[in-house]
Structure 1
Amino acid sequence: MSSFFRRIVARKPIESVEREINETEYKRPLTALDLTAIGIGGIIGAGIFVLTGRAAKKNAGPGIILSFVFSGIVCALACLCYAELASTLPVSGSAYSFTYASLGELLAWIVGWDLMLEYLVGAATVAVGWGVYLDIFFAGIAGKDALFDPRYSSAPFVWIENTANVTDGFYMNKVPCGVGSDELCQAYFNIPAFLIIIILTLLLVLGIREAAWVNNTMVAIKLIVCLVFIFAGIKYIKNENYTPFVPPNEGKGKYGLSGVFDGAVTVFFAYIGFDAVTTTAQEAANPQRDLPIGIIGSLAVCTVLYIAVSAVLVGMVHYPDIDASAPVGRALIAVGLRPLSVVISFGIICGLTSVLLVLMIGQPRIFYSMAYDGLLPPVFSKMHPKTGTPYVATLTSGFLCAIMAALLPVDILGNLTSVGTLSAFFLVSVSTLVLRITEPDLPRKFQIPGGFWFGGIFLPFLSAFCAAGLFSQATVPSIARVFIWMAIGLVIYFAFGFWNSKVGRAVANGGAPAESKKAAHA
């Protein structure tokens, strides 16, 4: 039993991480600007263009503004932890690699498995919203409300929860049998969501430089769109739409202060982007300097824009009337700005495409790192000799994501991702605290301000506490689904990863990882 325990708590030696950094097969074309754009590309998009409407309508009302403030504060704390660890251990595994070096193999597996949920399901969520806005854009050009046949642009299932006289669970999705039809038919497959995932997967196989060029262009368009919406929408704000700012509590997490916190959990998914920055660490030209710039810079810009856009949105449209699937585009139509909604919809399509791209950059690099460590089959660590991309992991994760986007509804996808993100943030915060204690002399190009006790101990502890607090506000079904996902992951770990882990086998054979021994003799 002691040998078993030593294996599951074995930490990946720091010198092993450094060797992985120096011997990487990745190419290193990314600059600080590219990394900041990746962060903005991942943060601005899904939260404001897809999930904001649902959170305002069903959870917080105008209090969605406070939801973004609360989420932003928690993210700022986690952001500092990410920045410190990224400058200390600039490897592509993100929270997985940080946890492996500080808390041990089993917790690293759990956070890595969580990150798979975070990225795969997150990209699928955005792809569903991308299809909605694509329909709004083409329909707007044609002067119609919709063009896509709902049977081939909707998930075949819906998730119903917290509804009177209806048992929580999946139900078949009945949609109009065609555009304008009054007859209901079964939805079959979300084709637009499926196709965009496949196209971006192929782009990522071509190379990270090409993907970064596309992302930078779309981020510029997206920022312009946010500013246009803010300044165009201000004059349509009605003060009465802000009353009551926090609607009375109607139970089951709807409105009231509990609804504001539920909204914060829902929109927490919006801040996933800066985690994705760390997955490109081994492709950055100067990672120890540029990663903190990309992480902190992107969060600062995006938090301000989120609060501003959500304030204008709930001021333009009374919260019960907000469209849950496409809040920004429908808000413009509601105030008579249909032509602008077409322009905005194009910008939003570009914005959501960049979110998809960033999320799909992150997932295969997690696969790669876990396979490199022996916790997943080695095929996922195969690197394309010409493009320098983990092509097997990219193709596999892209296909899985496309299937999820085509079959599952946006509500369940968004909740799953938010809870998974909070779990990762909690462990990154704890990892920062532990490494400050166990490895105080590690060279850190960026340190959380405030010295050892405040910056190194108190703020990481506060970050972990806040992440755990928001996690506790998630719905019971959402938490249950995450724990089911973790249980599936543990089965896979003990069936494969436990027996094939490089660090674990070294511990079993000699009592300590081989790299640590070598360092000890040096």
Structure 2
Amino acid sequence: MLPCGPALTFVRCLVRKKNVKGEGLEDSLCRCLSTLDLIALGVGSTLGAGVYVLAGEVAKSNSGPSIVVSFLIAALASVMAGLCYAEFGARVPKTGSAYLYTYVAVGELWAFITGWNLILSYVIGTSSVARAWSGTCDELLGKQIGHFFRTYFKMNYPGLAEYPDFFAVFLILLLSGLLSFGVKESAWVNKIFTAINILVLLFVMISGFVKGDVDNWRISEEYLINISAITDLLGSIFPMPRVIYAMAKDGLLFKCLAQINSKTKTPLVATLSSGALGLPVKHCAFNNLYLNYTFFCSSLLGSMFPLPRILFAMARDGLLFSFLAKVNKRQAPLVATLTAGVISAVMAFLFDLKALVDIMSIGTLLAYSLVATCVLILRYQPSLTYEQPKYYPEKAALAASERESAVSESQINMIQESHFSLQTLINPSSLPTEQTATTVNCLVGLLAFLVCGLSALTTYGTHFIANLEPWSTGLLAALVVSFIVTILLIQRQPQNQQKVAFMVPLLPFLPSLSILVNIYLMVQLSADTWIRFSIWMALGRYICSFKSPSLLGLMNPVLDNSIFCL
């Protein structure tokens, strides 16, 4: 057992938060992408396997015509998460995505968990797109590649692919080399592929709606009589893990939202394309439809781009090996890019990735949930020091005076509210204090607990609720009422008055709804998926222990003028 002193120090280091000062916002990475580059990279990363292959596969195997509803629900989760990403991108314009946002808001432990899951998500995303690209080319050549490798390189081991995919490895290493040259060069290639991609997608949607038949969306009234048919319909509407995969390219697209005001068009495109695919035929074998022979490149580039930056950010902070934080002369994370390419290539070479796609959904949904939670927490903090706004000289004195006045009033309120009571919970001070911030933290924790209970009940107790069992309906009502009351209590607390370029509207309702949707979708995943996820987290725990000197602060994880505060 650890002595009290070292154990307390270890715990404090796990919950310490990253404080990014205004002078520390500049990254050592090259910042050369324009708004058009970001739009092309974000849209291109999503318009790949998710739109071309997954929409038809889910429509054929799971949802049928209700694929449109499935994509709309997935789009709802993505758009709400995108708004939260946009606010954080405005507050903390540094490399790291949800990992850095979690580090700033809730501490080092959750930041490592988030970053570790994002690494898994991007590795599987890159590998799966590469294998889809390889399979498409194999179909184009009459399946001669697959036949050759099945004959001479067949692997008869459970959990592995039927044969090693050398073409996917070559493709990943080729694009990794392109990314290592620099961001600007790869952005030009990506824009070309994305432009072709959009033209093909427009052709698919127009053709689908022109040749479509609305009768294919209709079912008989007799099918809706019994409750089992209704639950079958609910199951067809919610093949969410696979649909979330199509929306899971969050890193760049959502950071782009902080700089442009067009929000995201990708959920709309995916919904329209799925509708176009669902109209022409009724439950047809979409897996025989290959219109995307050369257009996975933009999706693969978009999948590969965020992964080296997550590795770079975590290595820069001392949570991963320091050699991953090295930058070349072109200001690109060369070592992290090549490492990410090798890991993704190994995954694509050996593993059957169909069973691993759901694990990627866990990482994405967990990141969505934590970012929404961080927005709730940060908005109610008494002071924020993540970015120092640039004022003109004549306005600097006035801004400083306003900040000093706000701090003084906050300190007075904190002294007056030295004890917690129901009165202070319902009628708090006009400005946020340490007490109101602690209250919000507790309420957000309670909100997450209620959401988990509500999601589990509506997922595994659907039969009891449909039969109006007293205990199930009573528990459901209690959870719903408690959820609403908790949100209203959070809404009563004073918000921080610091303004940034973009702020999430309808706080705390929209982030709370985002947490509800994301956790509900996570509960839908199978037990096998959670077992694989636990194995991945155990591996992360081992690496965390191996890097424990950094976590204890015995090594210096602070680079780029970034400091830690307890």
What TM-score does the superposition give when structure 1 sets the normalisation length? Answer: 0.77
Deviations 1:207-260 (CA, angstroms, capped at 9, x unpaired): 000111111111111111110011123333244533449998999x99520232
State the alpha-carbon separation in 2 of the partners of residues 264 and 416 from structure 1. 12
What pairs up with 1:240-279 in 2 under 5 angstroms? 240-244=215-219, 255-261=232-238, 263-277=239-253
What are the equivalent positions in structure 2 for 1:68-147 lying under 5 Å apart? 68-136=71-139, 138-139=140-141, 145-147=142-144
The 8 Å contact of residues 130 and 348 in structure 2, kept in 1 or not, is answered as yes
Check whether the contact 2:366–2:518 (CA below 8 A) recurs between aligned residues: yes
Instruction: Report the AA paired with residue 276 of structure 1.
Output: L
Counterpart mapping for 1:130-169 below 5 A: 130-136=133-139, 138-139=140-141, 145-152=142-149
Which aligned pairs between 1:287-298 and structure 2 lie closer than 5 A?
Answer: 291-293=257-259, 297=262
Tell me, in whole angstroms, the C-alpha distance in 1 between the residues paired with 2:155 and 2:114: 28
1:246-303 deviation line (CA, Å, top 9, x unaligned): 998999x995202322x2221111122232346xx7xxxxxxxx65245x6462x212
Deviation at 1:403, TM superposition (A): 1.3
Shift in Å, 1:190 = 1.1
Partner secondary structure for residue 12 of structure 1 = strand
Equivalent of 1:495, from 508, 528, 546? 546
Q: 1:133 to 1:20 in 2, by over 3 A?
A: farther
CA distance in 1, matches of 2:69, 2:56: 14
Look up the match of 1:448.
504
- Corresponding position: 1:413 with 2:356: yes
CA distance in structure 1 between the partners assigned to 2:219 and 2:131 by the alignment: 31
1:461 and 1:433 mapped to 2: Cα distance?
Answer: 8
The CA deviation string for residues 403-438 of structure 1, in whole angstroms up to 9 with x for no partner, is 111222242232221221111111111111111112
Kindly tell me: are residues 380 and 315 of structure 1, through their superposed partners in 2, closer, same or farther at Cα, counting changes over 3 Å? Answer: same
2:3 corresponds to which residue? none
Q: CA separation of 1:106/1:89 partners in 2, compared to 1, >3 Å: closer, same or farther? A: same
1:316 aligned counterpart, secondary structure = coil
- The answer (yes or no) to whether the contact 1:57–1:319 under 8 Å persists in 2 is yes
Q: Does 1:380 align with 2:324?
A: yes
Query: Is 2:17 the counterpart of 1:11?
Result: yes
Q: Which runs of 5+ in 2 are unaligned?
A: 1-6, 385-495
The 3 A distance-change label for structure 1 pair 469 and 514 is closer
Residue segments in structure 1 that go unaligned for 5+ positions in a row: 140-144, 159-168, 174-186, 282-289, 324-329, 332-340, 508-512, 518-522
The residue identity in structure 2 corresponding to 1:414 is V
Residue 469 of structure 1 corresponds to 520
1:148 is displaced (CA, Å) by 2.6
Name the structure 2 match of 1:403. 346
TM-score, length-normalised on structure 2? 0.72
Partner of 1:194: 169
Task: Report deviation, 1:382.
Answer: 0.4
Contact 1:41/1:273, CA 8 A, preserved across alignment = no
Alignment match, 1:284 = none
Change (3 A) 1:8 1:27: same
- Partner in structure 2 of residue 433 of structure 1: 376
- Seen in structure 2, the aligned counterparts of structure 1 residues 193 and 514 have a Cα distance that, compared at 3 Å, is closer
Letter of the structure 2 residue corresponding to residue 423 of structure 1: L
CA distance in 1, matches of 2:106, 2:320: 19
Among 153, 174, 179, the residue aligned to 1:204: 179
Deviates more, 1:410-419 or 1:199-208: 410-419
Question: How many correspondences in the alignment?
Answer: 439
User: Quick one: which of 295, 319, 322 aligns to 2:283?
Assistant: 319
Q: Quote the RMSD (CA, aligned, Å).
A: 3.0
The one-letter code of the counterpart of 1:190 is: D
Q: 1:436 to 1:291 in 2, by over 3 A?
A: same
Once the two structures are TM-superposed, the CA of residue 314 in structure 1 deviates from its matched residue by 2.1
Q: Counterpart amino acid of 2:19?
A: P
Q: Are 1:237 and 2:212 matched, yes or no?
A: yes
Larger radius of gyration: 2
d(CA) in 2 for partners of 1:245, 1:298: 39
Aligned position for 2:465: none
Post-superposition Cα deviations, 1:54-85, rounded to whole Å, max 9, x if no partner, equal 32233222211111010111111111000000
CA distance in 2: counterparts of 1:256 and 1:371, whole angstroms: 46
Cα deviation, residue 469, structure 1: 0.8
In structure 2, the residue matched to 1:361 is: 305
Amino acid at match of 2:16: A
Distance change >3 Å, CA 148–CA 243, structure 1 → 2: farther
Aligned 8 A contact 2:315 2:323 in 1:
yes
Q: Residues of 2 paired with 1:36 and 1:302: CA distance?
A: 10
Assess if the C-alpha contact under 8 Å between 2:42 and 2:249 holds in 1.
Answer: yes
Report the CA distance between 1:490 and its aligned residue.
1.5
Q: What is the CA–CA distance in structure 2 between the aligned matches of 1:254 and 1:42, rounded to whole Å?
A: 34
The question of whether the paired residues in 1 share the 8 Å contact of 2:149 and 2:163 is answered with yes
**Superimposed CA distance per residue, residues 324-343 of structure 1 (whole angstroms, 9 cap, x where no aligned partner):** xxxxxx34xxxxxxxxx6xx
Q: Structure 1 pair 34/435, CA: closer, same or farther in 2 (3 Å)?
A: same
**Aligned residues of 2:124 and 2:347 also touching (Cα < 8 A):** yes
Alpha-carbon distance between aligned partners in 1 of 2:212 and 2:352, rounded to the nearest angstrom = 31
State the AA in 2 paired with 1:382: K
Q: 1:345 aligns with which of 264, 287, 292?
A: 292
CA contact (8 A) 2:14 2:551 kept: no
Partner Cα separation in structure 2 for residue 495 and residue 112 of structure 1: 17
- Whichever residue aligns with residue 266 of structure 1, its letter is R
CA distance, structure 2, for counterparts of residue 245 and residue 78 of structure 1: 37
Cα deviation, residue 345, structure 1:
2.8
- CA gap of 1:240–1:148, structure 2 versus 1, over 3 A, is farther
Name the SS of the counterpart of 2:145 in structure 1: coil
Please identify, of 119-128 and 400-409, the stretch whose mean Cα deviation from structure 2 is larger.
400-409
The alignment partner of 2:158 has SS state of strand
Asked if 2 retains the 8 angstrom alpha-carbon contact of 1:59 and 1:254, the reply is: no
Q: Alpha-carbon deviation of 1:153?
A: 8.1
Deviation of 1:151 (Å): 4.7
Structure-2 separation of matches of 1:514 and 1:502: 14
Q: Could you tell me whether the CA contact under 8 Å between 1:7 and 1:504 is conserved in 2?
A: no
